[in-house]
Amino acid sequence: MNVLQLKGITKEYQLGKSAVHALRGLDLDVGQGEIVALMGPSGSGKSTLMHILGALDTPTGGTATFEGHDLQQLEERRLVELRGHKVGFVFQTFHLVPTLSAQRNVELPMVFSRIGKRERARRAQELLKRVGLADRAKHKPNELSGGERQRVAIARALANDPPVILADEPTGNLDSETGNSILDLLRRLCEEDGKTVVLVTHDPEAAAIAHRIIRLRDGRVVEETRNV
């Protein structure tokens, strides 16, 4: 069953007086429990695609469905719910709230989901333990290394136990050893928890954990390969 389905997706931006065509009629299906790597040069539309998949942005044309629901037809309240419960985002630059400790950052999605304080703390500690940061829970992001921050971001993405993880160049700012441990973590999320992972990367090594590799160029899918 396809969790994510895109058909003829287009996205145009207005940059000053000129229009930028970020996506030009893109089709993509992502099945449940699948790891899909999106690759392509800068400006090929990878991040824009991720934002549309995660309901952070709306396409200009085409149809995007999430678990069968047309994202363009969903009202704002349902989109907020989808961002909070169905999708976990991991960003290249971590995007942690600097004023909050690692644990409070992990708790953040649960705060907006109105989960009780005690339950939140229990789940946050459990997730931090799972990503190997149980002893760094009280540290603020500026007291953590890049790898640690990304692991906090992964723990946060898992806070509400969403079925889909969208990781936008999660190893882009990390050394190869740390990057590998992050990739291993994402792989295990798919294998052990049955999560669907969509991964944007430039790195062939990162793409190697994916079941399928989709190559984009100029806002279109130009190649699709399946890892054996």
Identified binder of another protein from the candidate list 160, 171, 196, 201, rule CB under 8 A: 160
Please report how many Cα atoms fall inside a 13 Å half-sphere around the Cα of residue 192, on the Cβ side: 7
Q: Which residue, 95 or 187, is less far from another protein as judged by CB?
A: 95
Distance of CA 20 to the CA centre of its chain: 24
Shortest Cβ 176–another protein spacing (Å): 26
> What counts of helices (H) and strands (E) characterise the chain?
7, 10
Identified binder of another protein from the candidate list 72, 113, 176, 227, rule CB under 8 A: 113
The answer to whether the beta carbons of residues 124 and 159 sit under 8 Å apart is yes
Binding window for another protein (CB under 8 A); candidates: 34-42, 49-57, 193-201, 209-217: 49-57
Q: Which residue, 147 or 162, is less far from another protein as judged by CB?
A: 162
The answer to whether the beta carbons of residues 43 and 15 sit under 8 Å apart is no
Q: Does 149 bind another protein (CB under 8 A)?
A: no
Q: Does 74 bind another protein (CB under 8 A)?
A: no
**Helices 146-157 and 117-130, interaxial angle, to 10°?**
130
Binding window for another protein (CB under 8 A); candidates: 59-67, 89-97, 181-189, 203-211: 89-97
